[in-house]
Amino acid sequence: MKKKLLTLFVREVAASLEKEGHYGTAHVYRSTANSFEKYIAGECACSGNRIRCEKREVTMYSLSPGLLKRYEEWLRLRGLSWDTVGTYLHTLRATYNRGVEAGIAPYVPRLFTGVFTGRASERKRALDVKDVRSIFTGDTGGLSPELERARAFLELMLRFQGMPFVDLAHLQKSDYRNGRLVLRRQKTGVRLSIAVDRRAAELLALYAPVSPASPYLLDILPENLNGKGLYTAYQSSLRQFNMRLKCLASRCGVSEKVTSYSMRYTWATQSKYCGVPLSVISEGLGHSSIKTTEIYLKRYEDSLLDKANKLTMKYVFEGVLKRFVSVKLFD
């Protein structure tokens, strides 16, 4: 029996995911297949350096720790972030595990141990308090309706416990009752129950769909699409939203990058600074595992330690005693 090519199986999994409606995940699988095929084809040059190229077809039986490590090195030489490298290798590992379960790949202990398959926060994503206030309460000199709309959605995401844009866009009218949002996250299916304060209720009413037939709570997605058409419409809205956030940040004098995920990291980080327990933050974000929440907050723990160390050194060497105060989002 001819052994199945790895990338062929990756594409088969992608097709299966798309049939199940997981369009975003299917896209990641196809991107991984494309990347691995380029590596196998021998495109191993980056910035004048070269590493060993694989000149053979890779089947589900020919994966090895060495091959995976060389692929990881090739990805890094091409300038990809550790987040992207981890995504590609995580996808290959998930595909390999499916192959083992299907009997088309051998079980090799610790096959992926030597490569990075996780997530790495390499840049700051949460906004400082002053930047948050500049966006929502600062003098912007009159924003266009498009930027006002983007700012309103950003504020709703912060008020709704760092809600990601995908969940905000898909909010249904049936999710809002008795002053609360009760929904399940698009990504994980985890249930969320969120109190809607007066300001959030005003924004929901202001940006409600014009058509009473729309099932959505906000005027972000068209009412008459489903399946891949709805996914495509969402991706278009997301790109437009991020472009407007870039303009909004510039108008508000915010130098940090503002994206659709900024409020999620900001809510988590500022809640931590306010003394909210990690388990509560995790539940508020709708994470299926507290380990995911720890990834969100790990780098901001470093900043607190830096601050603590600086105050300590100032006292030890200069005799200046200052009280350690954690930054809070609201007074």
Q: What is the largest CA-CA distance in the chain?
A: 77
Residue with tokens 């060993």: 52
> DSSP characters for 187-250?
TT--EEEEE--HHHHHHHHHT--SSTT--BSSTTS-TT--HHHHHHHHHHHHHHHHHHHHHHHH
Q: Taking residues 169-191, what's their average pLDDT? A: 93
Identify which has the larger pLDDT, 53 or 150.
150
At 78 the pLDDT is 93
pLDDT digits (tens, 9 = 90+) for 239-274: 999 999 999 999 999 999 999 989 988 888 888 877
Is residue 48 predicted with pLDDT exceeding 60? Answer: no
Contact yes or no for 181/196 (Cβ under 8 A): yes
C-alpha span between 25 and 22 (Å, rounded):
6
For residue range 83-137, list pLDDT tens digits in order: 899 999 999 999 999 999 999 999 999 999 999 998 765 455 788 888 999 999 8
Report the DSSP beta bridge partners of residue 193: 182
In the chain, pLDDT over 70 holds for what percent of residues?
Answer: 85
pLDDT for position 275: 77
The percentage of the chain sitting over the pLDDT mark of 90, rounded to a whole number, equals: 59
Collect all residues with Cβ–Cβ distance below 8 Å to 150 and sequence separation of at least 6: 241, 244, 245, 248
Q: Which stretches within the chain are classed as H helix?
A: 6-19, 23-40, 65-77, 82-102, 129-137, 145-159, 165-169, 198-206, 227-251, 262-273, 278-285, 290-318
Does 37 score more than 90 pLDDT? Answer: yes
pLDDT for the residue numbered 302: 57
Cβ atoms of residues 200 and 160 within 8 Å: yes
Average pLDDT, the chain: 86
Third-level CATH fold of 129-292 = hpI Integrase; Chain A (1.10.443)
pLDDT higher than threshold 50 for residue 329 = no
Question: Where residue 328 falls among pLDDT bands split at 50, 70, 90?
Answer: very low
**Mean pLDDT, residues 156-168:** 93
Residue 154 has pLDDT above 90, yes or no: yes
Q: Could you tell me the residue ranges of all domains in the chain?
A: 6-102, 129-292
Give the SS3 label for residue 111.
coil
Going by pLDDT thresholds of 50, 70 and 90, the confidence category of residue 331 is very low
pLDDT at position 107 is 94
Residue 46 has pLDDT above 50, yes or no: no
